Amino acid sequence: MKAPDRRSFLKIAGTSLGIGVLYSAYPAALAKGEVGDIFASLGKQSGEKVTPFSFLQLSDAHVGFNGPPDPLGTKAFEHAVDMVNALPQRPDLVLFTGDLTHDTEDKDIHIQRMKQFQEISKKINVPVIRHVPGEHDAGLDGGALYREFFGESHYSFDHRGVHFIALDNVSRAKPEVGAEQLDWLKKDLARFSKSAPIVGFTHRPLFDLRPDWEWFTSDGDDVMNALSPYDNVTVLYGHIHRDDEHEIGKVHHYAARSLIFAYPDPTGIAGPRKPIPFDKDHPFKNLGIRSINVNGKSKPGTQSLAVTDVELTAREFSGINGVHQLLKNPNI
């Protein structure tokens, strides 16, 4: 059987405000019985049988931030928790891709923000929540306080046959992973075959999306060189406060929207980065639904991932019925 490609591995089922992206790790079925063949093949390669599951990516809550361009504080984060808990099928885990809190030079205040984040996030009804730091969590103290609350800032784990890698590209007070972590990454990957399904998650993009806006990682190329031999790699990140999708080589990169305010599409914009102004009549504008569906019947020359973005209005945000309907029919 032909080895499954990266698009066959990751199916993205739907999203809601602040949820970011709901991912289903389920190979696309191109013919009856092929899903089982793909699982069996990946299981032989990785040493653990791959079984279907879904997980969520959340990002950039900035707990402690309050004011222009968004006076809502933690409201979007709290409602995101409610929406996650209302999903018809409970995800296995949540990955939070950084900037859990908003930074401050007052350690006592930052401690309170860390505690507030934990108080809100612990209400999410999922078995496992994993984190990586953003620069607002770890940039001022090298990640010391972050590690007190959340443990190591880079690590890996396996779940149902999928290998997850958490990368820290903020704690060195600059957008960098660093030589020590790169060595660790190479050793971590060494036990896996080239077809093993791998999901990396980090805060900043690992490629030069917009360097003058600090949307990059200086040694991101070194990270990607370590990942490039592998055939089934997905990288999730935050930081840019908007959805984004890039395919570079054999690696697909996805960014989640933020839980606080949005940045514009940088294409064609000169000058410094500026948030999208808050609209009091449409408080959740640009914090929308991102639905990505694998139809499983891709034709030559077409994309196997269909992406639909639906902006949340205040009416849609007032309840979850619309969200449930979207998840039932992600092609609307």
Which pLDDT value is given to residue 132? 98
Cβ neighbours, 10 Å, residue 280: 6
Structure confidence by residue, pLDDT tens digits, 272-325: 999 999 887 777 677 643 333 333 333 333 333 333 343 443 333 333 333 332
- 210 exposed, middle or buried (CB, 10 Å; 0-12, 13-18, 19+)? middle
Expressed in angstroms, the distance from the first to the final Cα of the chain is: 34
31 pLDDT higher than 80: no
Mean pLDDT score, 37-66: 72
Measured CA to CA, the distance from residue 255 to residue 125 in angstroms comes to 23
Asked if 238 contacts 256 with a C-beta cutoff of 8 angstroms, the reply is yes
Q: What is the pLDDT of residue 243?
A: 85
Residue 246: closest CA among 233, 260, 230, 259: 233
CATH (residue range 6-328): 3.60.21.10
What is the Cα 207 distance to its own chain's centre?
15
> 254: burial class by Cβ within 10 Å (0-12, 13-18, 19+)?
buried
Q: What percent of the chain has pLDDT over 90?
A: 45
What does the pLDDT average to over 221-244? 92
pLDDT band of 57, cuts 50, 70, 90: confident
Instruction: With CA atoms as reference, report the closest residue to 205 among 146, 263, 160, 159.
Output: 263
Residue 186 main-chain phi, psi, to 5 deg? -60, -40
pLDDT of residue 48: 62
pLDDT at position 42 over 70: no
Report the pLDDT averaged over residues 41-69: 76
Distance (Å) of CA 74 to CA 63, 113, 123, 259, 289: 6, 11, 14, 8, 18
pLDDT at 184 over 90: yes
Q: Using CA atoms, how far apart are residues 253 and 274, in angstroms rounded to an integer?
A: 23
pLDDT at 297: 34
Residue 257 token pair: 């929207």
pLDDT at 301: 38
Q: How confident is the model over 119-173, as pLDDT tens digits?
A: 999 999 999 999 999 999 999 999 999 999 999 999 999 988 889 999 999 999 9
The answer, yes or no, to whether residue 50 has pLDDT greater than 80, is: no
Q: Flag whether pLDDT at 330 surpasses 50.
A: no
Supply the pLDDT for residue 87: 74
DSSP code string of 68-103:
TTBTTTTHHHHHHHHHHHT-SS--SEEEEES--B--
